[in-house]
C-alpha cells in the first residue's frame, strides 16, 4: 500500500490486456477548476479515497496539486499514509473514518488530520494530545441528518464538557444525504441543523458539501467543499445535463466476430435468442473486470467510428467477455483487435450505470485490475 499505483503497475498481465482504461488527468484538472468556480468563496478540496475512486490516487493528487489543490480527503489511515509521501507537509490530508484506538500517533507523526466522528474518538485524541503535550490538529464530524458518521443531535449537549483547548480544531464538517435531489427537504433541514450544531463548538472552518452539494448554492458551500465524483466526470446534477468533463474511457478489444441465424442462443442461460440473422462481436471485458452482470441485455457499446449507432450488449455478461450486436454497423466495420467503447464520451458512465440499476460511483470503484491503464 505504500504506492497504490506501483501495486497496479506491477501486475504482470496488462501488457497484452484485452481492454484499455484511459484516465484523462487534464479533464480532472478542468473539473477541479469548474467546481472551484462554482464555489468561489470556498476552498476546493479533492476526495481521493478508494484509490481515487479506483482511478489512481497518486497521479490524481499530483495533478490536482498543480491546480492549487491543497486539501485532500481519504477514508482510511493507510490511504493517508500513502498519500503523504507524494504531497508536501503544507498540504492537508483528512482521514474521514477517524482513527481506531491505538493509531493516533501514526496519524499525528505523518501530519494527517483525523476526522473525529464520535465522543469516544474525541476523548482518545484529547488523551493522546495531553500525553504528547501537543495540540495536534483534528476535525470533528457532526451528523446533521443521515445517521452515518458523526456526533448526533442527541449527543450535542455532551460536547460542552469537551476541553476544546486540548487540540487544534481544524474542521467542522457534516455530509448531505440527498444533495443530488435539489428540492429534497432534507437538504434544507441538514443545512439548518449543521448551522445550529456548529455553534456549540468553537469557531473553525466548516464544510458540508460533496460534489452535488456544490450545485445546491452558496449557502451550502461554507469554507471548504469536498467533491470526489464530479472531479472524475460523474454527473453531480443527475436531473440536468452533466456540467463536468468526461474523464474515464473504457475500451474493450474485439476477440472475434460471428454471424448467427435466427433462433440461436447467446451466452449463459440462453437469456438472449436471435429473431433474425445477426452479426455479433465478442469483447474481452467481463464481470471480473467490474463490468457488472446487471448490464447483460441492458447496456450498449459504441464503435468509435460510428458513435451514433448503439451496439446492444446481448446475453449475460461472462467473467471475461461480453457479446455485442453489431448488425447495425456496416459489414466489415469492426475487426478482431479493434476497440469498442463501453464507458466514455459516447457511453456516459451515468447512463450505462442506470441501465444496470447502479450509479457511476459503484461502476468506477468496481473496475478491475486487468486493464491497461493509460493516463493522459
According to the binding rule CB under 6 A, does residue 227 interact with ligand PLP? yes
Binders in 40-59 for ligand PLP, by CB under 6 A:
47, 49
Side-chain half-sphere CA neighbours of 103 within 13 A: 18
Options 136, 198, 221, 226; binder of ligand PLP; rule CB under 6 A: 226
Is residue 268 part of the annotated active site? The answer reads yes
Is residue 232 part of the annotated active site? The answer reads no
Q: What is the 3-state secondary structure (H, E, C) of 145-214?
A: CCCCCCECHHHHHHHHHCCHHHCEEEEEECCCCCCCCCCCHHHHHHHHHHHHHHCCCCCCCEECCCHHHH
Cell numbers found for residue 309: 449507432
According to the binding rule CB under 6 A, does residue 221 interact with ligand PLP? no
3-state DSSP call for residue 5? Answer: helix
Cα torsion at 113, 31, 192, 165 (round to 10°)? 20
Binding segment for ligand PLP (CB under 6 A), chosen from 9-17, 228-236, 241-249, 252-260, is 228-236
Considering the candidates 22, 38, 49, 198, report the single residue annotated as catalytic.
49
According to the binding rule CB under 6 A, does residue 114 interact with ligand PLP? no
The helix or strand, by DSSP H or E, that contains position 284, with its residue range, turns out to be none
Kindly state the smallest distance separating residue 259's Cβ from ligand PLP, in Å.
44
According to the binding rule CB under 6 A, does residue 116 interact with ligand PLP? no
Options 229, 254, 278, 343; binder of ligand PLP; rule CB under 6 A: 229
Number of H helices, E strands in the chain: 11, 19
Kindly state the smallest distance separating residue 41's Cβ from ligand PLP, in Å.
19
Contact 11, 366 (CB under 8 A): no
Q: Which of 220, 164, 223, 226 is nearest to 193 (CA)?
A: 220
First to last CA, the chain: 24
Binding segment for ligand PLP (CB under 6 A), chosen from 157-165, 223-231, 286-294, 337-345, is 223-231
Options 5, 211, 237, 274; binder of ligand PLP; rule CB under 6 A: 211
According to the binding rule CB under 6 A, does residue 253 interact with ligand PLP? no
According to the binding rule CB under 6 A, does residue 175 interact with ligand PLP? yes
Q: For ligand PLP, give the closer residue by CB, 139 or 267.
A: 139
Count the residues of the shown chain that bind ligand PLP, applying the rule CB under 6 A. Answer: 11
Q: Enumerate binding residues for ligand PLP (CB under 6 A).
A: 47, 49, 96, 175, 210-211, 226-230
Which are the catalytic amino acids? 49, 268
Amino acid at each position: 500500500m505504500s504506492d497504490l499505483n506501483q501495486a497496479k503497475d506491477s501486475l504482470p498481465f496488462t501488457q497484452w490486456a484485452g481492454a484499455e482504461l484511459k484516465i484523462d488527468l487534464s479533464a480532472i484538472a478542468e473539473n477541479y477548476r469548474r467546481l472551484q468556480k462554482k464555489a468561489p468563496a470556498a476552498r476546493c478540496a479533492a476526495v481521493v479515497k478508494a484509490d481515487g475512486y479506483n482511478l489512481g490516487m497518486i497521479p490524481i493528487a499530483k495533478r490536482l496539486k498543480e491546480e492549487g489543490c491543497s486539501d485532500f480527503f481519504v477514508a482510511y489511515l493507510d490511504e493517508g499514509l500513502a498519500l503523504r509521501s507524494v504531497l508536501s507537509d503544507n498540504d492537508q490530508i483528512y482521514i474521514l473514518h477517524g482513527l481506531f484506538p491505538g493509531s493516533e500517533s501514526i496519524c499525528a507523526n505523518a501530519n494527517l488530520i483525523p476526522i473525529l466522528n464520535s465522543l469516544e474518538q474525541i476523548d482518545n485524541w484529547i488523551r493522546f494530545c495531553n500525553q504528547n503535550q501537543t495540540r495536534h490538529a483534528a476535525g470533528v464530524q457532526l451528523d446533521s441528518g443521515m445517521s452515518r458518521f458523526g456526533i448526533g443531535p442527541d449527543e450535542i449537549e455532551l460536547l460542552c464538557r469537551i476541553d476544546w483547548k486540548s487540540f487544534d480544531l481544524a474542521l467542522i464538517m457534516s455530509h448531505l444525504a440527498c444533495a443530488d435531489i435539489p428540492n429534497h427537504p432534507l437538504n434544507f433541514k441538514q443545512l439548518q441543523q449543521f448551522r445550529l450544531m456548529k455553534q456549540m463548538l468553537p469557531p473553525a472552518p466548516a464544510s458540508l458539501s460533496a460534489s452535488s452539494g456544490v450545485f445546491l448554492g452558496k449557502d451550502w458551500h461554507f469554507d471548504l467543499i469536498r467533491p470526489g465524483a464530479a472531479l472524475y466526470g460523474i454527473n453531480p446534477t443527475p436531473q440536468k445535463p452533466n456540467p463536468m468533463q468526461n474523464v474515464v474511457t473504457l475500451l474493450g478489444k474485439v476477440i472475434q466476430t460471428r454471424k448467427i441465424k435466427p433462433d440461436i442462443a447467446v451466452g449463459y442461460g440462453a437469456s438472449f435468442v436471435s429473431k433474425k440473422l445477426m452479426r455479433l462481436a465478442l469483447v474481452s471485458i467481463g464481470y471480473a473486470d467490474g463490468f457488472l452482470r446487471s448490464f447483460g441485455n441492458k447496456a450498449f457499446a459504441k464503435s468509435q467510428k460510428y458513435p451514433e449507432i448503439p451496439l446492444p450488449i446481448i446475453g449475460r455478461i461472462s467473467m471475461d467477455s461480453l457479446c455485442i450486436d453489431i448488425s447495425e454497423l456496416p459489414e466489415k466495420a469492426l475487426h478482431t483487435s479493434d476497440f469498442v467503447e463501453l464507458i466514455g464520451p459516447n457511453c456516459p458512465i451515468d447512463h450505462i450505470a442506470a441501465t444496470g440499476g447502479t450509479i457511476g460511483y459503484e461502476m468506477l470503484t468496481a473496475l478491475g485490475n486487468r486493464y491497461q491503464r493509460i493516463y493522459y
